[in-house]
Amino acid sequence: TDIEKGTYPHYMLKEIDEQPFVIRNIITKYKDADDSIKLDEQVRQAVIDADRIYIIAAGTSYHAGLVGKELIEKIANIPVETHIASEFLYNMPLLSKKPLFIFISQSGETADSRGVLVNVKKLGHKTLTITNVPGSTLSREADHTLHTYAGPEIAVASTKAYTAQMAVLAIMAVDAARAAGVEMDFDPLQELGIVANAMEIFTEQKDVLEEIARDYLSVARSCFFIGRSMDYHVCLEGALKLKEISYIQAEGFAGGELKHGTIALIEEGTPVVGLATQEAVHLNLRGNMKEVVARGAYPCMISMEGFAEEDDKIVIPKVHDYLTPLVSVIPMQLISYYAALHRGCDVDKPRNLAKSVTVE
Ligand code: G6P
């Protein structure tokens, strides 16, 4: 490949570090001369014409889709369902009258997602691909494309593509809301600028995260990530990152669901990462953390400025509620990276995984 690592030991670390620049690049690409959102007129029309959106994706892109559902529903007021591509056709939901299918795919080549695209096109439905590779199969075959502008992603574990996908989804949602005449005080281009600055706090001070990784994960057999609401989706992604590159068994759970079974797995010293960036739910999540600590868990709490507490290990700078996943995932990516490093794993090319999976 002609993409160089430069002074970086791994592509993954380079790509994690690039995220503030990627977000600023997205702001530039989606900004018009008068500071309003610049977005393809046809894409805008397709989104506002839809009475329901079906997001289809796999892996990390699916996790971006879970956040995308919340953003589109809250901001643009359009109902959204997010589905795992490989499962969608087995039990296709009853579709609405004017559905729009959105495929989220870093590579634009994932066979599971393409399988759905081919089928829904046959049924005559409208399609949009959000991808990092315009000209890819999913991009060529869909009616419309939105570009995530993250630049080539080489490491198998996806990092910057995920944050870029969520940024573009937020911009798309606000654009649709404005086009539909919805009043709103959330300016995504401005708020994403704040996000880019917040990301830098972590990419510039990695030693704390390296220490946490060594401390919590050098010898751990398993690790749990718990969160509520939007944070829950980020926990799924945090756990996936850790599994992919460090081979530690990791699971993301909804904070309130843990007690309904999985809490049986908590033993003396089991690391549990708690994520609370949504003020409305942080007290409940802290309650869940107390429950696991009482059973021996070793807690790593990640919270946000404004309602952080003294023992919290990581505090993310204040960003808009809608955009916290873009920032809170950065410490998780870095902790996974250092955990893999300390355990001697091949960070950029983990066993059994491929960057893009072109078989179903
Ligand atoms: C593979 C990769 C994952 C990725 C998933 C979806 O499994 O290893 O990192 O999230 O495919 O890929 P896509 O290119 O469709 O986003």
> How far is C-alpha 201 from the geometric centre of its chain's CA atoms?
19
> Of these residues, 31, 206, 349, 355, which one is catalytic?
355
Known catalytic residue: 313?
A: no
Rounded CA gap, 189 and 25, in Å?
Answer: 11
Q: Residue whose CA is closest, atom 3 of ligand 1?
A: 59
28-73 residue pLDDT tens: 999 999 989 999 999 999 999 999 999 999 999 999 999 999 999 9
- The mean pLDDT of the chain is 96
Amino acid present at 39: L
Å from CA of 109 to ligand 1 middle: 9
Å from CA of 309 to ligand 1 middle: 36
Average pLDDT over residues 81-101: 97
The edge-to-edge listing of strands for the beta sheet with 126-131 is 80-84, 52-57, 99-105, 126-131, 144-147
Q: Is 64 helix (H, G, I), strand (E, B) or coil?
A: helix
Global model pTM greater than 0.95: yes
- pLDDT at 1 (0 to 100): 52
- pLDDT at 2 (0 to 100): 59
- pLDDT at 206 (0 to 100): 94
Instruction: Say if residues 237 and 62 touch (Cβ distance below 8 Å).
Output: no
Instruction: Say if residues 326 and 168 touch (Cβ distance below 8 Å).
Output: no
Distances (CA, A) of 338 to 104, 216, 334: 28, 11, 6
313-359 residue pLDDT tens: 999 999 999 999 999 999 999 999 999 999 999 999 999 998 988 88
Å from CA of 17 to ligand 1 middle: 20
Rounded CA gap, 114 and 197, in Å?
Answer: 36
- pLDDT at 356 (0 to 100): 87
39-51 residue pLDDT tens: 999 999 999 999 9
The response to whether residue 353 sits with its C-beta less than 6 Å from ligand 1 reads yes
Q: Residue whose CA is closest, atom 15 of ligand 1?
A: 105
Instruction: Say if residues 243 and 335 touch (Cβ distance below 8 Å).
Output: no
Å from CA of 245 to ligand 1 middle: 14
Instruction: Say if residues 325 and 313 touch (Cβ distance below 8 Å).
Output: no
The response to whether residue 61 sits with its C-beta less than 6 Å from ligand 1 reads yes
248 pLDDT more than 80:
yes
Q: Is 227 helix (H, G, I), strand (E, B) or coil?
A: strand
Residue 245 CA neighbour count, 13 Å, CB half: 31
**ipTM entry:** 0.98
- pLDDT at 169 (0 to 100): 98
Handedness of CA 217, 223, 226, 230 (dihedral sign): positive
Rounded CA gap, 150 and 159, in Å?
Answer: 10
Q: Is 353 helix (H, G, I), strand (E, B) or coil?
A: coil
What are the beta bridge partners of residue 56?
83, 103
The two structure tokens encoding residue 260: 């309904």
Residues with Cβ within 8 Å of residue 72, at least 6 apart in sequence = 53, 78, 80, 169, 172, 173, 176
Rounded CA gap, 202 and 191, in Å?
Answer: 18
What are the beta bridge partners of residue 224?
251, 272
Rounded CA gap, 48 and 100, in Å?
Answer: 10
Pocket of ligand 1, candidates 12, 61, 130, 166: which has the most ligand atoms within 8 Å of its Cβ, to mutate?
61
The response to whether residue 158 sits with its C-beta less than 6 Å from ligand 1 reads yes
The response to whether residue 113 sits with its C-beta less than 6 Å from ligand 1 reads yes
Rounded CA gap, 302 and 276, in Å?
Answer: 6
Å from CA of 322 to ligand 1 middle: 24
Rounded CA gap, 355 and 159, in Å?
Answer: 12
The response to whether residue 356 sits with its C-beta less than 6 Å from ligand 1 reads yes
Average pLDDT over residues 284-311: 97
Å from CA of 61 to ligand 1 middle: 7
Rounded CA gap, 349 and 343, in Å?
Answer: 14
Pocket of ligand 1, candidates 104, 109, 110: which has the most ligand atoms within 8 Å of its Cβ, to mutate?
110
Distances (CA, A) of 201 to 25, 107, 194, 195, 198: 18, 29, 11, 10, 6
The response to whether residue 110 sits with its C-beta less than 6 Å from ligand 1 reads yes
Distances (CA, A) of 55 to 183, 202, 235, 302: 25, 30, 19, 28
The response to whether residue 59 sits with its C-beta less than 6 Å from ligand 1 reads yes
Q: What is the largest CA-CA distance in the chain?
A: 57
The DSSP-derived string for 72-136 is IIIII---EEEEEHHHHGGGPPPP-SSEEEEEEESSS--HHHHHHHHHHHHTT-EEEEEES-TTS
Say which range, 153-157, 162-166, 187-191, 202-206, has the weakest mean pLDDT: 202-206
The response to whether residue 129 sits with its C-beta less than 6 Å from ligand 1 reads no
pLDDT band, very low/low/confident/very high, at 360 (cuts 50, 70, 90): confident
- pLDDT at 4 (0 to 100): 83
183 pLDDT more than 80:
yes
Average pLDDT over residues 159-170: 98
